[in-house]
């Protein structure tokens, strides 16, 4: 049972792009209805969709904002591939108000259909790519379906997980950082929980909007703000929790990410901030993959994260 004081959604941010000089074209919305579509005019792009859930018993004043990673949408916080409740549910049960973002070009935010505005093309993802990138197992062992021993992702539901994949551009980070900032400024001071590419975008948005932040939890961020963006003013006012899962040493990419994460934490602390790097196996969560909000111990990890927020933010 979930007793919600309120829930709903809004879109925020974005900008207008003007198209002119194009010919109209006849489109068919259905077999029976044709329409003379005018591709000229002002199109709104780069807005951000936010869905929110406010519990009746809100036991922590500051809301949580959940920001998904690359190739995914806010749906990744709603359910695990094997159908268990997601972190959204876990945090609601802990008495947090929760805001879930679909970042620019993902999910209900929509994407830019005006050609020439965004560089490059959207790319999709196969199960094979996810297997390696998300540390379910060695790339060479994908075909044999032989994961890392003890890994906790529900691999029997890998196809259900693939249904959550959406295409993503790789050129839209600046718009996405602006989008997260617009969402934060609308929501108000928050604890930001961000995953993977969202860890990069979220940490960049956090240092650009320090007055809207009460804490940042980066779950295996794929990147960090530039060194010059890290000052006492931008990172000094709240705690950072930098989380990493298991099997890091199995992956060159994630070994490098661990090095970068540690370096970011040191820069934050040197600037007078407070950053803490925690590897989940060290606090009782062996087998955590890159998708630890979906692993079979996901609810327990959410409990640990909630304790950290209650103790630090």
| Region 55-94 residues binding a second copy, contact defined as CB under 8 A | 56, 70, 73-75, 78-79, 83, 85-86, 89
Q: Which stretch binds a second copy (CB under 8 A): 184-192, 242-250, 256-264, 283-291?
A: 256-264
Interface of this chain with a second copy, residues 11 to 30, rule: CB under 8 A: 11-12, 14, 27-30
Q: Interface mask (CB under 8 A) for a second copy, residues 287-306, using x and -?
A: --------------------
| 33, containing H or E segment | strand 33-37
| 137, 61 Cβ separation under 8 angstroms | no
Should residue 32 be labelled a site residue for a second copy when binding is judged by CB under 8 A?
A: yes
Interface of this chain with a second copy, residues 269 to 288, rule: CB under 8 A: none
* Integer Cα distance of 32 and 23 in angstroms: 23
How near is the Cβ of 81 to a second copy at its closest, in Å? 9
Interface of this chain with a second copy, residues 128 to 167, rule: CB under 8 A: 128-129, 133, 159-160, 162-167
Should residue 173 be labelled a site residue for a second copy when binding is judged by CB under 8 A?
A: yes
Comparison of 173 and 231: residue with beta carbon closer to a second copy:
173
Classify 245 as helix, strand or coil.
coil
Nearest C-alpha neighbor of 297 from the set 310, 307, 284: 284
| 184, 216 Cβ separation under 8 angstroms | no
Q: Which stretch binds a second copy (CB under 8 A): 149-157, 222-230, 268-276, 288-296?
A: 222-230
Comparison of 104 and 280: residue with beta carbon closer to a second copy:
104
Strand partners, 91: none
C-alpha to C-alpha distances, 217 to 131, 195, 203, nearest whole angstrom: 24, 8, 9
Comparison of 218 and 313: residue with beta carbon closer to a second copy:
218
Classify 144 as helix, strand or coil.
coil
Should residue 190 be labelled a site residue for a second copy when binding is judged by CB under 8 A?
A: no
Classify 154 as helix, strand or coil.
coil
* Integer Cα distance of 153 and 293 in angstroms: 9
List the one residue from 58, 60, 95, 122 that touches a second copy (CB under 8 A).
122
Q: Write phi, then psi, for 269 (nearest 5 degrees).
A: -65, -40
Q: Interface mask (CB under 8 A) for a second copy, residues 92-111, using x and -?
A: ----------x----xxxxx
Neighbours of 251 (CB within 10 A): 18
């Amino acid at each position: 049972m979930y007793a919600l004081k309120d829930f709903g959604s809004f879109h925020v941010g974005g900008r207008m792009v003007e198209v002119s000089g194009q010919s109209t074209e006849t489109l068919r919305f259905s077999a029976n209805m044709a329409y003379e579509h005018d591709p000229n005019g002002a199109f709104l792009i780069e807005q951000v969709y936010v869905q929110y859930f406010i519990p009746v018993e809100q036991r922590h004043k500051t809301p949580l904002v959940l920001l998904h990673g690359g190739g995914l949408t806010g749906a990744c916080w709603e359910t695990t591939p094997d159908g268990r409740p997601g972190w959204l549910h876990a945090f609601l049960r802990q008495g947090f108000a929760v805001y879930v973002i679909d970042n620019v070009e993902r999910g209900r935010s929509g994407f830019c259909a005006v050609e020439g505005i965004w560089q490059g093309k959207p790319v999709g993802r196969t199960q094979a790519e996810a297997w390696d990138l998300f540390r379910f197992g060695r790339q060479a062992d994908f075909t044999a379906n032989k994961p890392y021993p003890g890994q906790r992702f529900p691999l029997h539901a890998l196809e259900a997980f693939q249904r959550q994949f959406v295409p993503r551009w790789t050129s839209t980070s600046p718009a996405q950082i602006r989008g997260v900032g617009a969402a934060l400024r609308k929501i108000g001071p928050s604890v930001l929980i961000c995953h993977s590419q969202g860890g990069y975008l979220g940490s960049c948005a956090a240092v650009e909007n320090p007055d809207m932040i009460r804490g940042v939890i980066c779950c295996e961020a794929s990147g960090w703000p530039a060194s010059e963006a890290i000052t006492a003013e931008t990172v000094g006012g709240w705690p950072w929790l930098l989380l990493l899962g298991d099997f890091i040493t199995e992956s060159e990419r994630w070994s490098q990410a661990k090095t970068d994460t540690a370096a970011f934490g040191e820069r934050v602390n040197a600037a007078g901030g407070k950053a803490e790097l925690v590897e989940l196996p060290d606090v009782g969560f062996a087998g955590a993959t890159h998708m630890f909000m979906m692993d079979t111990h996901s609810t327990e990890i959410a409990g640990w994260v909630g304790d950290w927020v209650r103790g630090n933010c």
